[in-house]
């Protein structure tokens, strides 16, 4: 009776405990339909899986019964040991085909069938020889161990298949992202990977020109617009701190949201948001390395698109700059000839004998002055085209000589002539200023442009001050005027081409004077800047490197040596 109760317990144990074994060792098949989501799913979801599990147990029982049927005719020929081997083989096949629960049941059922049909007295669970009890125990232990090892091998094989499939999917994703031509295509390929491999929805958010996150597609924009304040805070934090976050408090159905940054070589390229398609599923929590790999691929693709756009934009700017310089150069040369003729004819009219009537002479003088002003504008255009061409080629020819700075300032003031009648110029130079190695003609143009610009924007009868002194082994020149100063919002753009303080101002000019000054000063290795002094007015200052001037012998020493 003891042995019979033991075998009865062996046969009943699978019916009571096989679900417990399944819970401890869930079958690993990719990352879809994990056991936790199955346990919280609805009965309608579990019904197909339950029916499938029941069929597997029936097949397991049928395999044990088939082994018994095939072995029974030759039981008188085979030793009990060989019969045990056949049942163990059945357990191995069941474990390899249907998993742990059916294998455990097959192990217990094999022991029971072997006892009932092949151990004397046959067709009974009674055991006459106590040694068979040890046989049953060893047979059951071996069957369970072999089944466990077989299942482990199957799991490793399944895992290898999953890893291979995932690696192939990552390779395909990388290939598609490498050929993507827009952020929308990057989002499309990434969303397909997330749907197939992670059973998740993917949203892609990238920064706009103001460094604020925006959706790549309308679906992404909808997610961002309807996001809860906590989710919005998480998105900004991930983007700014470049650290991923897994949030459990996302939606009413308990969906899991994973927010990861898109790393780039210079800055973050946005964030990627993955939400599991099944409520209360936590599969994404265990896929962090894979998710980070996907985020890295997306970030690399977006950065590549950014640099392609920057290169294309730079190429367009370079082409536009070359075209503009060509047009400026051609236009300036073509306009200068008729301007020279116009200026000469107007000047001739003012000097005609007998003299013209007073009104006609005033009109001739006005034509001459305006022609001269237009000629200066054309000269600025020519100078700017030449300077831009020299900077583009990396070589701006300078005819440098060692010159005292005062010998450049004086001719610049004389060049402006009558345009400074209502603006006295006061020059203050620190004593003992050394000579500087400069192109005097170009630097005269710098002073002329700065002084003329100061006279245009300062009230009549106000002085223009020019100060020159030494500052940190450089010659610093400052030009003050009492005008309204530079617009605060354009203070860093006043040296740009065609930039003017007031675009609709009645003050003549095309916005080239300061740009020419900057190009000339930088060609000399200096630096120029515009400043609004605290006391009011406007200030333009530039620094020139001093270098080591040549030694000049006194005149008396040279005569004595002769």
Q: Report pLDDT for 332.
A: 64
CA distances from 275 to 24, 25, 257 (A): 27, 27, 5
Highest mean pLDDT among 31-40, 188-197, 276-285, 387-396: 188-197
Q: Where are the domains of the chain?
A: 2-165, 184-310, 315-393, 401-545
Residues, the chain: 562
pLDDT confidence of residue 386? 67
Residues above pLDDT 70, as percent of the chain: 75
pLDDT band at 96 (very low <50, low <70, confident <90, very high): confident
pLDDT of residue 511 exceeding 70: no
Taking each continuous run of H as one helix and of E as one strand, the counts in the chain are 15, 12
Q: What is the pLDDT of residue 394?
A: 54
Cα 307 to Cα 209, 301, 320, distances in angstroms? 15, 10, 20
HSE-up of residue 253 (Cα within 13 Å, Cβ side): 11
Q: Does 268 or 426 have the greater pLDDT score?
A: 426
Model confidence pLDDT, tens digit, residues 298-357: 988 998 988 888 888 888 877 877 777 677 667 666 777 787 788 788 888 878 878 888
Give the CA distances from residue 273 to residues 221, 265, 545, in Å, rounded to whole numbers and listed in that order. Answer: 12, 21, 55
| Mean pLDDT along residues 266-282 | 81
Q: Return the CATH number of the domain spanning residue range 315-393.
A: 1.10.287
The tokens of 232 are what? 């919005």
When the candidates are 3.40.1390.10, 3.40.50.1820, 3.30.450.40, 1.10.340.30, the CATH number that belongs to 184-310 is: 3.30.450.40
CATH of domain 401-545: 3.30.565.10
Q: Report the candidate in 443, 450, 451, 453 with the shortest Cα–Cα distance to residue 405.
A: 443
Q: Which residue has the tokens 């009648």?
A: 421
Residue 426 reports pLDDT greater than 70: yes
- Average pLDDT over every residue of 294-298: 89
Task: pLDDT band for 542, please (50, 70, 90 cuts).
Answer: very high
Cα torsion 355, 361, 364, 366: sign = positive
Give the separation between CA 59 and CA 63, rounded to whole angstroms. Answer: 6
Averaged pLDDT for residues 107-120: 77
């Amino acid at each position: 009776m003891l042995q019979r109760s033991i075998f009865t317990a062996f046969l009943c144990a699978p019916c009571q405990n096989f679900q417990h074994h399944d819970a401890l060792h869930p079958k690993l098949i990719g990352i879809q339909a994990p056991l936790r989501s199955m346990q919280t799913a609805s009965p309608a979801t579990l019904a197909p899986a339950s029916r499938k599990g029941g069929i597997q147990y029936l097949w397991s029982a049928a395999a044990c019964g088939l082994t018994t049927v095939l072995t029974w005719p030759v039981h008188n020929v085979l030793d009990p040991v060989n019969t045990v081997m056949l049942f163990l083989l059945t357990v191995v096949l069941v474990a390899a085909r249907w998993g742990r629960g059916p294998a455990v049941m097959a192990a217990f059922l094999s022991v029971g069938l072997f006892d009932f049909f092949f151990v004397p007295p046959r067709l009974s669970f009674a055991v006459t020889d106590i040694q068979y009890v040890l046989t049953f125990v060893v047979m059951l232990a071996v069957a369970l161990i072999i089944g466990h090892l077989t299942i482990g091998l199957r799991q490793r094989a399944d895992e290898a298949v999953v890893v291979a499939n995932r690696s192939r999917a990552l390779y395909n994703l990388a290939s598609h992202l490498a050929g993507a031509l827009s952020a929308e295509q990057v989002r499309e390929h990434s969303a397909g990977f997330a749907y197939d491999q992670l059973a998740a929805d993917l949203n892609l958010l990238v920064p706009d020109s103001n460094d604020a996150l925006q959706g790549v597609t309308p679906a992404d924009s909808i997610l961002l617009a309807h996001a809860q304040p906590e989710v919005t805070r998480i998105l900004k934090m991930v983007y700014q701190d470049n650290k991923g976050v897994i949030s459990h408090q996302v939606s009413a159905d308990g969906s899991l949201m994973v927010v990861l940054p898109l790393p780039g070589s210079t800055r973050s390229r946005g964030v990627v948001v993955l939400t599991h398609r099944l409520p209360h599923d936590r599969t994404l929590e265990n896929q962090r390395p894979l998710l980070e790999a996907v985020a890295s691929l997306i970030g690399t693709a977006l950065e590549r698109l950014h640099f392609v756009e920057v290169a294309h934009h730079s190429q367009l700017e370079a082409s536009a700059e070359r075209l503009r310089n060509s047009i400026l150069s051609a236009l300036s040369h073509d306009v200068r000839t008729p301007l020279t003729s116009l200026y000469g004819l107007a000047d001739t009219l003012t000097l005609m004998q007998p003299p013209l009537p007073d009104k006609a002479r005033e009109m001739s003088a006005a034509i001459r002055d305006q022609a001269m002003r237009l000629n200066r504008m054309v000269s600025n255009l020519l100078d700017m085209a030449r300077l831009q061409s020299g900077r583009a080629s990396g070589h701006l020819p300078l005819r440098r000589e060692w010159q005292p700075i005062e010998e450049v300032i004086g001719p610049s003031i004389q060049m402006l002539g009558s345009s400074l009648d209502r603006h006295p110029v006061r020059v203050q130079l620190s004593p003992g200023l050394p000579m500087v190695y400069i192109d005097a003609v170009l630097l005269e143009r710098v002073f002329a442009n700065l002084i003329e610009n100061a006279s245009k924007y300062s009230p009549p009868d106000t002085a223009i001050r020019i100060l020159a002194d030494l500052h940190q082994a450089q010659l610093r020149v400052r030009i003050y005027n009492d005008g309204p100063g530079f617009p605060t919002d354009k203070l860093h753009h006043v040296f740009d081409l065609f930039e003017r303080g007031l675009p609709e101002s009645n003050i003549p000019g095309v916005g080239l004077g300061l740009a020419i000054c900057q190009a000339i000063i930088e060609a000399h290795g200096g630096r120029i800047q515009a400043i609004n002094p605290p006391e009011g007015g406007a200030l333009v200052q530039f620094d020139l490197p001093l270098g080591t001037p040549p030694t000049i012998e006194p005149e008396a020493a040279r005569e004595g040596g002769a």
